Amino acid sequence: MAAPFSRLCRPLWRITTTSTLNKGVRNVSSSRQQWSAQNVKTAGAASPWALNGAVCLQRLPVVSEDGSPIEEEFMELMHLMEFERSLLSDHELRLLEDAARMSRKQEGDYDSDEEDYRDNEIVTAQDLEDIWEQKPKQFQPAPRSQGVDEKDMSSSERCLADSLILLVKKDVGSQKLWLLPQIQWQTGETLRQTAERALASLPGADKKATFLGNAPCGYYKYKYPKVIQKEGSVGAKVFFFKAVLSSHKHLPLEKNSFAWVKKEELQDFLKPEYLKQVRRFIMAL
Protein backbone atom coordinates (compact mmCIF):
# COMPACT_ATOMS: atom_id res chain seq x y z
CA MET A 1 0.00 0.00 0.00
CA ALA A 2 2.97 2.32 0.42
CA ALA A 3 3.81 2.53 -3.26
CA PRO A 4 0.36 3.68 -4.53
CA PHE A 5 0.17 6.19 -1.71
CA SER A 6 3.54 7.74 -2.65
CA ARG A 7 2.50 8.13 -6.31
CA LEU A 8 -0.75 9.85 -5.31
CA CYS A 9 0.90 12.19 -2.86
CA ARG A 10 3.62 13.73 -5.04
CA PRO A 11 4.58 17.27 -4.02
CA LEU A 12 2.78 20.06 -5.81
CA TRP A 13 6.05 21.82 -6.85
CA ARG A 14 7.22 18.71 -8.67
CA ILE A 15 3.99 18.44 -10.65
CA THR A 16 4.05 22.13 -11.54
CA THR A 17 7.75 22.12 -12.57
CA THR A 18 7.38 19.06 -14.76
CA SER A 19 4.35 20.43 -16.60
CA THR A 20 6.02 23.81 -17.10
CA LEU A 21 9.24 22.30 -18.44
CA ASN A 22 7.32 20.06 -20.82
CA LYS A 23 5.52 23.06 -22.27
CA GLY A 24 8.57 25.38 -22.44
CA VAL A 25 11.21 22.99 -23.79
CA ARG A 26 12.27 23.77 -27.40
CA ASN A 27 12.44 20.82 -29.71
CA VAL A 28 16.09 21.22 -30.70
CA SER A 29 16.36 18.12 -32.85
CA SER A 30 13.39 19.03 -35.02
CA SER A 31 14.54 22.65 -35.46
CA ARG A 32 17.99 21.48 -36.53
CA GLN A 33 16.50 19.12 -39.05
CA GLN A 34 14.37 21.92 -40.48
CA TRP A 35 17.38 24.27 -40.66
CA SER A 36 19.56 21.69 -42.42
CA ALA A 37 16.77 20.89 -44.86
CA GLN A 38 16.42 24.58 -45.72
CA ASN A 39 20.19 24.82 -46.19
CA VAL A 40 20.24 21.90 -48.59
CA LYS A 41 17.36 23.37 -50.50
CA THR A 42 19.07 26.77 -50.73
CA ALA A 43 22.41 25.29 -51.80
CA GLY A 44 20.78 23.14 -54.41
CA ALA A 45 18.97 26.05 -56.00
CA ALA A 46 20.98 27.77 -58.73
CA SER A 47 21.96 31.37 -57.95
CA PRO A 48 20.69 33.98 -60.40
CA TRP A 49 24.07 35.75 -60.15
CA ALA A 50 27.27 34.52 -61.76
CA LEU A 51 30.40 34.78 -59.62
CA ASN A 52 33.54 36.23 -61.19
CA GLY A 53 37.05 36.65 -59.87
CA ALA A 54 39.02 39.69 -61.07
CA VAL A 55 42.60 40.80 -60.56
CA CYS A 56 43.82 44.36 -60.16
CA LEU A 57 47.36 43.95 -61.50
CA GLN A 58 49.63 46.91 -60.76
CA ARG A 59 53.09 47.63 -62.05
CA LEU A 60 54.84 49.62 -59.35
CA PRO A 61 57.10 52.60 -60.18
CA VAL A 62 60.53 51.59 -61.48
CA VAL A 63 62.33 54.94 -61.11
CA SER A 64 61.84 57.86 -58.77
CA GLU A 65 59.50 60.62 -59.82
CA ASP A 66 60.96 63.89 -61.10
CA GLY A 67 60.79 66.67 -58.55
CA SER A 68 58.69 69.76 -59.06
CA PRO A 69 60.41 73.18 -59.47
CA ILE A 70 59.76 74.10 -55.84
CA GLU A 71 61.17 70.74 -54.70
CA GLU A 72 64.33 71.33 -56.75
CA GLU A 73 64.77 74.81 -55.27
CA PHE A 74 64.27 73.51 -51.74
CA MET A 75 66.80 70.71 -52.32
CA GLU A 76 69.42 73.20 -53.53
CA LEU A 77 68.76 75.40 -50.49
CA MET A 78 69.22 72.47 -48.11
CA HIS A 79 72.47 71.47 -49.81
CA LEU A 80 73.75 75.04 -49.52
CA MET A 81 72.86 75.24 -45.83
CA GLU A 82 74.51 71.88 -45.16
CA PHE A 83 77.66 72.97 -46.99
CA GLU A 84 77.94 76.27 -45.14
CA ARG A 85 77.46 74.69 -41.70
CA SER A 86 79.68 71.67 -42.25
CA LEU A 87 83.26 71.24 -41.00
CA LEU A 88 86.25 70.76 -43.29
CA SER A 89 87.18 67.17 -44.00
CA ASP A 90 90.72 65.79 -43.75
CA HIS A 91 91.11 66.01 -47.51
CA GLU A 92 90.05 69.67 -47.56
CA LEU A 93 92.49 70.47 -44.72
CA ARG A 94 95.24 68.78 -46.71
CA LEU A 95 94.37 70.90 -49.75
CA LEU A 96 94.75 74.06 -47.67
CA GLU A 97 98.09 72.89 -46.31
CA ASP A 98 99.36 72.11 -49.82
CA ALA A 99 98.24 75.53 -51.06
CA ALA A 100 99.97 77.25 -48.13
CA ARG A 101 103.19 75.32 -48.75
CA MET A 102 103.18 76.23 -52.44
CA SER A 103 102.78 79.91 -51.58
CA ARG A 104 105.71 79.71 -49.17
CA LYS A 105 107.91 78.14 -51.85
CA GLN A 106 107.28 81.12 -54.11
CA GLU A 107 108.56 83.55 -51.49
CA GLY A 108 112.16 84.70 -51.65
CA ASP A 109 113.13 83.83 -48.09
CA TYR A 110 111.79 80.25 -48.31
CA ASP A 111 113.76 77.74 -46.23
CA SER A 112 113.15 74.09 -47.18
CA ASP A 113 114.69 72.83 -43.92
CA GLU A 114 111.72 74.19 -41.99
CA GLU A 115 109.28 71.86 -43.82
CA ASP A 116 108.50 68.47 -42.27
CA TYR A 117 108.68 65.03 -43.92
CA ARG A 118 105.36 65.47 -45.72
CA ASP A 119 107.07 67.83 -48.17
CA ASN A 120 108.70 64.77 -49.73
CA GLU A 121 105.33 63.33 -50.78
CA ILE A 122 105.07 63.03 -54.54
CA VAL A 123 101.25 62.71 -54.74
CA THR A 124 99.49 65.82 -53.45
CA ALA A 125 95.87 66.17 -52.39
CA GLN A 126 95.07 67.88 -55.70
CA ASP A 127 96.50 64.90 -57.61
CA LEU A 128 94.23 62.56 -55.66
CA GLU A 129 91.24 64.77 -56.37
CA ASP A 130 91.98 64.72 -60.10
CA ILE A 131 92.11 60.91 -60.02
CA TRP A 132 88.84 60.69 -58.11
CA GLU A 133 87.08 62.96 -60.59
CA GLN A 134 87.93 60.61 -63.45
CA LYS A 135 85.96 57.71 -61.96
CA PRO A 136 82.51 59.38 -62.02
CA LYS A 137 83.07 60.33 -65.65
CA GLN A 138 83.39 56.64 -66.53
CA PHE A 139 80.07 55.78 -64.86
CA GLN A 140 77.04 55.58 -67.14
CA PRO A 141 73.72 55.77 -65.22
CA ALA A 142 70.81 53.65 -66.39
CA PRO A 143 68.31 55.49 -68.60
CA ARG A 144 65.14 56.74 -66.94
CA SER A 145 63.09 55.56 -69.93
CA GLN A 146 63.19 52.47 -72.12
CA GLY A 147 62.72 54.37 -75.35
CA VAL A 148 59.04 53.43 -75.43
CA ASP A 149 56.39 55.88 -76.54
CA GLU A 150 54.64 57.22 -73.44
CA LYS A 151 51.33 57.10 -75.32
CA ASP A 152 51.67 53.40 -76.16
CA MET A 153 49.13 51.99 -73.68
CA SER A 154 49.96 48.38 -74.51
CA SER A 155 53.50 48.64 -73.12
CA SER A 156 54.23 48.05 -69.44
CA GLU A 157 57.46 50.06 -69.87
CA ARG A 158 55.71 53.40 -70.23
CA CYS A 159 55.67 55.99 -67.44
CA LEU A 160 58.32 54.25 -65.32
CA ALA A 161 57.90 56.82 -62.54
CA ASP A 162 54.17 56.04 -62.10
CA SER A 163 52.11 53.06 -61.01
CA LEU A 164 50.23 51.39 -63.88
CA ILE A 165 47.11 49.19 -63.86
CA LEU A 166 46.28 46.54 -66.45
CA LEU A 167 42.92 46.80 -68.22
CA VAL A 168 41.42 44.44 -70.81
CA LYS A 169 38.63 44.99 -73.32
CA LYS A 170 35.83 42.42 -73.05
CA ASP A 171 32.61 41.85 -74.93
CA VAL A 172 29.56 42.52 -72.75
CA GLY A 173 26.51 42.01 -74.89
CA SER A 174 26.83 44.20 -77.95
CA GLN A 175 29.34 46.50 -76.23
CA LYS A 176 33.08 46.31 -75.81
CA LEU A 177 34.00 47.55 -72.33
CA TRP A 178 37.30 48.11 -70.58
CA LEU A 179 37.48 46.09 -67.36
CA LEU A 180 39.99 44.60 -64.98
CA PRO A 181 40.93 41.03 -66.03
CA GLN A 182 38.18 38.72 -64.81
CA ILE A 183 36.87 35.21 -65.38
CA GLN A 184 33.90 33.19 -64.18
CA TRP A 185 34.21 31.14 -61.01
CA GLN A 186 34.26 27.35 -61.31
CA THR A 187 33.03 24.85 -58.76
CA GLY A 188 35.73 23.62 -56.38
CA GLU A 189 38.06 26.64 -56.50
CA THR A 190 38.41 29.67 -54.25
CA LEU A 191 37.83 33.17 -55.50
CA ARG A 192 41.55 33.87 -55.31
CA GLN A 193 42.23 30.85 -57.51
CA THR A 194 39.67 32.24 -59.93
CA ALA A 195 41.52 35.58 -59.99
CA GLU A 196 44.83 33.77 -60.55
CA ARG A 197 43.27 31.86 -63.43
CA ALA A 198 42.01 35.15 -64.89
CA LEU A 199 45.57 36.43 -64.94
CA ALA A 200 46.98 33.18 -66.33
CA SER A 201 44.46 33.18 -69.17
CA LEU A 202 45.89 36.44 -70.56
CA PRO A 203 48.51 36.24 -73.33
CA GLY A 204 52.12 36.28 -72.15
CA ALA A 205 53.27 33.27 -70.16
CA ASP A 206 56.01 35.26 -68.37
CA LYS A 207 53.49 37.32 -66.45
CA LYS A 208 54.63 36.80 -62.84
CA ALA A 209 52.60 38.49 -60.12
CA THR A 210 52.38 38.46 -56.34
CA PHE A 211 48.85 38.42 -54.91
CA LEU A 212 48.31 40.54 -51.82
CA GLY A 213 46.15 38.42 -49.50
CA ASN A 214 43.41 35.84 -49.85
CA ALA A 215 40.45 38.17 -49.22
CA PRO A 216 38.88 40.36 -51.91
CA CYS A 217 39.75 44.04 -51.81
CA GLY A 218 36.64 45.17 -53.67
CA TYR A 219 33.25 44.11 -55.00
CA TYR A 220 31.05 45.10 -57.93
CA LYS A 221 27.68 43.88 -59.15
CA TYR A 222 26.12 44.49 -62.54
CA LYS A 223 23.20 43.14 -64.53
CA TYR A 224 23.43 41.59 -67.95
CA PRO A 225 21.76 43.35 -70.87
CA LYS A 226 18.29 42.03 -71.51
CA VAL A 227 19.41 40.74 -74.87
CA ILE A 228 21.84 38.21 -73.37
CA GLN A 229 20.07 37.44 -70.11
CA LYS A 230 19.64 33.69 -69.72
CA GLU A 231 16.96 31.86 -67.84
CA GLY A 232 17.61 32.27 -64.15
CA SER A 233 20.70 34.44 -64.76
CA VAL A 234 20.37 38.11 -63.81
CA GLY A 235 23.92 39.41 -63.79
CA ALA A 236 27.38 38.96 -62.33
CA LYS A 237 29.08 39.65 -59.01
CA VAL A 238 32.76 40.48 -59.35
CA PHE A 239 35.26 40.11 -56.49
CA PHE A 240 38.56 41.97 -56.97
CA PHE A 241 41.98 40.81 -55.76
CA LYS A 242 45.10 42.97 -55.76
CA ALA A 243 48.36 41.76 -57.29
CA VAL A 244 51.73 43.31 -58.06
CA LEU A 245 53.71 42.58 -61.20
CA SER A 246 56.92 40.86 -60.10
CA SER A 247 58.97 41.28 -63.29
CA HIS A 248 59.34 44.38 -65.44
CA LYS A 249 59.98 42.49 -68.64
CA HIS A 250 58.15 43.97 -71.58
CA LEU A 251 54.92 42.08 -72.25
CA PRO A 252 53.80 42.10 -75.90
CA LEU A 253 50.07 42.78 -75.74
CA GLU A 254 47.55 43.78 -78.37
CA LYS A 255 47.15 47.54 -78.50
CA ASN A 256 43.39 47.52 -78.92
CA SER A 257 42.67 44.83 -76.30
CA PHE A 258 45.01 45.63 -73.42
CA ALA A 259 46.10 48.86 -71.76
CA TRP A 260 48.48 49.85 -68.95
CA VAL A 261 47.02 53.05 -67.51
CA LYS A 262 47.73 55.39 -64.62
CA LYS A 263 45.19 56.01 -61.88
CA GLU A 264 44.22 59.40 -63.30
CA GLU A 265 43.68 57.82 -66.73
CA LEU A 266 41.09 55.28 -65.52
CA GLN A 267 38.25 57.71 -66.09
CA ASP A 268 38.98 57.64 -69.82
CA PHE A 269 38.44 53.87 -69.99
CA LEU A 270 36.03 52.68 -67.28
CA LYS A 271 32.33 53.30 -66.84
CA PRO A 272 31.42 55.71 -63.99
CA GLU A 273 29.79 53.09 -61.71
CA TYR A 274 32.58 50.58 -62.29
CA LEU A 275 35.21 53.29 -61.79
CA LYS A 276 33.61 54.31 -58.49
CA GLN A 277 34.14 50.82 -57.06
CA VAL A 278 37.66 50.41 -58.47
CA ARG A 279 38.89 53.73 -57.07
CA ARG A 280 38.10 52.56 -53.54
CA PHE A 281 40.99 50.09 -53.41
CA ILE A 282 43.53 51.56 -55.85
CA MET A 283 46.28 53.64 -54.28
CA ALA A 284 48.74 55.78 -56.18
CA LEU A 285 52.07 54.31 -55.04
SS3 label, residue 2 = helix
pTM: 0.65
CA neighbor of 169 nearest in space, from 153, 185, 156: 153
The answer to whether residues 53 and 219 touch, using CB atoms and an 8 Å cutoff, is no
pLDDT 10s per residue in the chain (285 long)? 455 544 545 554 454 445 444 555 555 455 555 544 454 344 335 678 889 999 999 999 888 888 889 999 999 999 999 999 999 888 888 888 888 888 877 776 666 655 554 555 567 888 888 888 888 888 887 777 766 777 888 888 888 888 999 999 988 767 889 999 999 999 999 999 999 999 988 876 467 889 999 999 999 998 877 776 766 678 889 999 999 998 755 555 667 788 999 999 999 999 999 999 999 998 765
The rounded distance, in Å, linking the Cα atoms of 45 and 182 is 25
Residue 268 one-letter amino acid: D
Domain borders along the chain are 49-64+149-281
For every residue of 184-218, DSSP letters joined together read E--TTS-HHHHHHHHHHTSS-TT--EEE--SS-SE
What CATH homologous superfamily does 49-64+149-281 map to?
Nucleoside Triphosphate Pyrophosphohydrolase (3.90.79.10)
Query: Judging by beta carbons within 10 Å of its beta carbon (0-12, 13-18, 19+), is residue 269 exposed, middle or buried?
Result: middle
Beta bridge partner(s), residue 220: 238
> What is the rounded distance in angstroms from the CA atom of residue 184 to the CA atom of residue 76?
55
